[in-house]
Amino acid sequence: MNKPERFSPNSQEAKDIAYHLHPYTNPAQLAEQGPMILNKGKGVYVYDSEGRDYIEGMAGLWCASFGFSEKELVKAATQQMEELPYYHSFTAKTHNPAINLAEKLISVAPEGLEKVFFCNSGSEANDTAIKMVWYYHAAIGKPEKRKIISRKGGYHGVTLAASSLTGLAYVQQGFSLPLDFAKHTTSPNYFQESHDGESEADFVKRCMNDLEDMIAEEGADTIGAFIAEPLMGAGGVIIPPEGYYDALQPILKKHDILLISDEVICGFGRTGNMWGSTTFGLKPDILTCAKALSAAYLPISGVLVTDQIADGMAIQAEKLGQFGHGYTYSAHPVPAAVALRTLELMEERNIIEHVRSLAPLFAERVARLGEYASVGHSRSIGLIGAIEFVAKPDTRIKLDPKLKTAARVMKMIQDAGVIVRALPIDGIAFCPPLIITADEINIMFDRIESVMPEVDKLVASLA
Ligand SMILES: Cc1ncc(COP(=O)(O)O)c(C=O)c1O
């Protein structure tokens, strides 16, 4: 199956097919079509091996907030490599990049989050958060509080615990997941999940009733935490309905259930505030972040916790001798130095103001896509948005998922010079680097609109 016959044996394509196991890729399709090789980036553009330019309309994987050629970040990495290319933070060791990044991150964190633990990826951060919930509850004499509630359609990563919490079948099928500590409640997807004629307020009430029912059925004394992306990213750029978190948080409080805000996509300016939690009014006990923390130039993630949790963990660690968790690369000095410089650059360049100033244009361009017959819903906030395809105009009737409509449209848009992402709700996501300019937003959406008449024809022919 994997014989690279279509490509000359010594080509990069052939070698990639022969040797490289790709994440989230169909190997047969890769062997048939070959990989897309991107070796160069500049600003919001990336270039394929033939020199064709693409606007990276997804900032890679919702992460490259400063685009693909930020010299300041390269400098921060190089300087740190020369000074101390590696050291760990086990057994009370540390170094200036770890100390300074921890201080800086806590200084910009939502109120109440006072300490940070470093990991390498969003998945690791979420696994760590879950272990902290278990450890903390064991410390305060409630070791049975182990279940974690997430939402259908939520994305929290792919390590064992994180993929159990992810509420998307494609992450679990074939792996006999989820593990049984993970419970999935109703998605706050008003467009698809509301009943005909149900108001947003009534839909929120129903989501809360479903949650209360789940808590009653499982037993509040067995539930440790609720995890939520402030807005769901990979599951479909689902912006929660008005009042959703205001209704949710008192329920969690009442049942002594911790709130984990997964800010892996929403963090660092994406929604027009530093945190999605600020935009949507969450007051988390634990916050996980990654991706734009280092503008994606090097892997680093963080788990931020309240003093209450940190103190509980300290008591347990004292009893057991240590906090028995950590990664070889926790607070690695090079990504830490890059992350620190990223946070400084966000301030020096007023990135959040920049996002806010561009959000109306971005919203207008996303909304304009919503006027095409094939698009049933469009939405955006800050510099993140999506469109969703429907079988019949002005309805929410879905196309057969087997038709892979969104994946086909993604390819059409890519051929027009914009890299976007197909979403499992049969839509397309937009999440460009935060440094994008107004002109570049217009170029991005002009390129997308250039294929929309063809997209309408395609969807009409498939419906
Ligand atoms: C909200 C959210 N959480 C967690 C993750 C997992 O992060 P990683 O791929 O770095 O493990 C992602 C990845 O896209 C994400 O979007």
Give per-residue pLDDT as tens, 388-440.
999 999 999 999 999 999 999 999 999 999 999 999 999 999 999 999 999 99
Q: Reduce the DSSP state of residue 379 to 3 states and report it.
A: strand
> Are 60 and 83 in a shared domain?
no
CA angle 236, 238, 242 (to 5 degrees): 170
Whether 20 is in a domain gets the answer no
**Residue 152 phi, psi dihedral angles, 5° rounding:** -60, 135
Task: Please work out whether the CB of residue 229 comes within 6 Å of at least one atom of ligand 1.
Answer: yes
Specify whether the CB–CB gap between 235 and 168 falls below 8 A: yes
Whether 16 is in a domain gets the answer no
Q: Residue 338's closest CA among 297, 366, 378, 372?
A: 297
Hey, which residues does 140 pair with through a beta bridge? none
> Are 125 and 147 in a shared domain?
yes
Q: Provide the residue type at 121 as one letter.
A: S
Q: Reduce the DSSP state of residue 167 to 3 states and report it.
A: coil
Task: Give the Å distance between the CA of 20 and the centre of ligand 1.
Answer: 22
Whether 2 is in a domain gets the answer no
Task: Give the Å distance between the CA of 284 and the centre of ligand 1.
Answer: 18
Q: Between 438-462 and 351-369, two packed helices, what is the crossing angle to 10 degrees? A: 30
> Are 326 and 189 in a shared domain?
yes
Among the candidates 304, 322, 348, a domain finishes at 348
Mutate which of 227, 291, 421 to test ligand 1's pocket (most atoms within 8 Å of Cβ)? 291
> Are 119 and 249 in a shared domain?
yes
CA dihedral of 418, 421, 426, 428, whole degrees rounded to 10: -50
Whether 3 is in a domain gets the answer no
Task: Please work out whether the CB of residue 121 comes within 6 Å of at least one atom of ligand 1.
Answer: yes
> Are 65 and 81 in a shared domain?
no
Distances (CA, A) of 267 to 148, 166, 224, 261, 291: 22, 18, 23, 10, 9
Whether 5 is in a domain gets the answer no
Q: Reduce the DSSP state of residue 260 to 3 states and report it.
A: strand
CATH number of the domain within which 145 lies:
3.40.640.10
Among the candidates 292, 315, 348, a domain finishes at 348
Whether 28 is in a domain gets the answer no
Mutate which of 22, 265, 423 to test ligand 1's pocket (most atoms within 8 Å of Cβ)? 265
> Are 227 and 252 in a shared domain?
yes
Task: Give the Å distance between the CA of 158 and the centre of ligand 1.
Answer: 8
Q: What is the pLDDT of residues 230-242, one digit of tens each?
A: 999 999 999 999 9
Task: Please work out whether the CB of residue 157 comes within 6 Å of at least one atom of ligand 1.
Answer: yes
- The predicted structure's pLDDT at residue 438: 98
Q: What is the pLDDT of residues 34-63, one digit of tens each?
A: 999 999 999 999 999 999 999 999 999 999
- The predicted structure's pLDDT at residue 5: 65
Distance CA(422)–CA(387), nearest Å, equals 10
> Are 87 and 213 in a shared domain?
yes
- The predicted structure's pLDDT at residue 1: 45
- Sheet of 301-306: strand order equals 113-119, 301-306, 286-289, 258-262, 223-228, 147-151, 182-185
Helix (H) or strand (E) segment spanning residue 334: helix 333-348
Neighbours of 169 (CB within 10 A): 10
Whether 127 is in a domain gets the answer yes
> Are 78 and 48 in a shared domain?
no
Per DSSP, 11 falls in state S
- Residue-range definition of the domain harbouring residue 96: 72-348
> Are 58 and 181 in a shared domain?
no
> Are 96 and 183 in a shared domain?
yes
Hey, which residues does 258 pair with through a beta bridge? 225
| Block residue for tokens 């958060």 | 129
Closest atom, ligand 1, to C-alpha of 158: 11
Q: Give the closest residue (by CA) to ligand 1 atom 4.
A: 156
**Residue 159 phi, psi dihedral angles, 5° rounding:** -65, 170
Task: Give the Å distance between the CA of 122 and the centre of ligand 1.
Answer: 4
Whether 19 is in a domain gets the answer no
Task: Give the Å distance between the CA of 276 and the centre of ligand 1.
Answer: 15
Distances (CA, A) of 90 to 115, 227, 324, 338, 392: 16, 27, 10, 21, 57
> Are 389 and 299 in a shared domain?
no
Look at the alpha carbons of 356, 357, 358, 361 in this order and tell me if their dihedral is positive or negative: positive
CATH number of the domain within which 59 lies:
3.90.1150.10
Secondary structure of 184-250 as H, E, C letters? EECCCCHHHHCCCCCCHHHHHHHHHHHHHHHHHHHCHHHEEEEEECCCECCCCCECCCCCHHHHHHH
Specify whether the CB–CB gap between 449 and 57 falls below 8 A: no
Token duo for residue 119: 């990991």
Number of domains into which the chain is organized? 2
**Residue 393 phi, psi dihedral angles, 5° rounding:** -55, 145
> Are 196 and 329 in a shared domain?
yes
Specify whether the CB–CB gap between 13 and 7 falls below 8 A: yes
- Which residues of the chain have a pLDDT value below 70? 1-5
Closest atom, ligand 1, to C-alpha of 124: 11
Distance CA(280)–CA(373), nearest Å, equals 31
Closest atom, ligand 1, to C-alpha of 233: 16
Neighbours of 39 (CB within 10 A): 10
Distance CA(459)–CA(441), nearest Å, equals 25
Task: Give the Å distance between the CA of 79 and the centre of ligand 1.
Answer: 28
- The predicted structure's pLDDT at residue 327: 98
Among the candidates 307, 322, 348, a domain finishes at 348
Specify whether the CB–CB gap between 181 and 148 falls below 8 A: yes
pTM above 0.75, yes or no: yes
Helix (H) or strand (E) segment spanning residue 380: strand 375-381
